[in-house]
Copies of this chain bind each other. A is one copy, B any other.
Amino acid sequence: MIIDGMADRPMKELEGKTPLEVAETPNMDRMAKIGINGIMDPIQPGIRAGSDTSHLSILGYDPYQVYTGRGPFEAAGVGVEVHPGDIAFRCNFSTANDKGIITDRRAGRIREGTKEIAQAINGLHLEYGVQVIFKESTGHRAVLVLRGGNLSDQVSDADPKYEGNPPKQVVAIDGSEDANKTAKLLNELIQKSYKILKDHPVNLERIKKGENPANIILPRGAGAVPEVQPFQEKYGLRSACIAETGLIKGIGNITGMDLIDVDGATGGVDTDLDSITTSIVSTAAQDYDFLLINIDGADEAGHDGNLEEKVDFIKRVDSVVGKVMELDNAVFILTADHSTPVAIMDHTGDPVPLAIKGPAVRVDDVNSFSERAAANGGMCRIRGSDVMNMVMDLTNRSTKFGA
């Protein structure tokens, strides 16, 4: 169970304490008390991990090997079945005028009708036998996957970043033939999307209502879908992923986990924690060996620089921890994927606390769950890449190396 971005740095406002240290967390503290504790570097000491690279590392995948960019994980996260070699992009639905200038990068923050619009792009066939897979995500976001034709992810972004400009010409970053071909196809697809979408019924309706139409797509964050050994094949564990955000669902999807949909999960501090709890308990009752749980609100509060909300969310998520602790016969690992200090409003490379509860662990003297208390624990300091090996061993599933 990964409480996204929960860890923090000492804050003046809290007299040198961290949000996790001041939040009332009786259940997490009980985890610390009945478990073994330590600090964990998701990747390496001082390396500032993203949520995606951290989760990959914790699941035993080397992010330096498999992380090719955000595109593939976003695409997998909205349920596109990506294949190794596919080139995936994050996209915006945007508004262009008839001179080709982007007048609204987020198409009036469109929320409805994107599914219909996406269907008008999805399934297109391009030169070189390339197939277009296009799917809406939340709001003005979408994902684009190009399949076939030996394309490359070494291409630049089309998003001009500021309104009043035309889409940026996509170019090959490495100058390779494959990348040139990919850039050419993308530039053509962007123009084509305008032609297809400008008179789409959803957009005609939006224009009638005075809303900006979603009449062009702007891809960015190209990544080649990596060759990832399925989690079940790697560990022999039937696994499910209970996550709120597309990015983490993408990690679950790309590693072949079952994705559990959770009603009311927003990925924010307003998420429905009761619904998440129910979902965890009912999934655990099914025939799974391993659950990956990610709850995102603390990270959002950190990115927003909102101390009060971060402390409050940690306090509320503590009750979810309490329920998960009741699951018998489970090795339960509580941690964060990185620190998102309120004062920094972004991830930092500080280590995160980690507690493991289970019949086999060497219970230590730590009595509270926090960044500092954990450093005195029986696990000392480990890396994200150690976690799955420890899980396998603590559940007596590890393979002996040697005689």
Contacts and interface: CB of A to CB of B under 8 A. Distances in A.
Interface of A: 9-10, 16, 18, 39, 43-54, 63, 67, 70, 73, 247, 341, 344, 346-350, 360-364, 371-372, 375-383, 386-394, 396, 398-403
A156 to B, nearest CB: 18
A388 B45 CA distance: 10
25 contacts: A9-B360, A9-B362, A16-B363, A39-B378, A39-B380, A43-B401, A44-B386, A45-B386, A45-B389, A46-B390, A47-B398, A48-B399, A49-B401, A50-B402, A50-B403, A51-B402, A52-B403, A63-B401, A67-B401, A344-B396, A349-B389, A362-B375, A372-B378, A380-B381, A381-B382
Contact of A51 (B46, B50, B393, B403): B403
Given A380-B39, A382-B45, A67 B402 contact: yes
A247 B403 contact: yes
A357 to B, nearest CB: 13
A77 to B, nearest CB: 11
A46 B398 contact: yes
B45 A390 contact: yes
Contacts of A393: 46-48, 348-350
A161 B18 CA distance: 59
Contacts of A383: 45
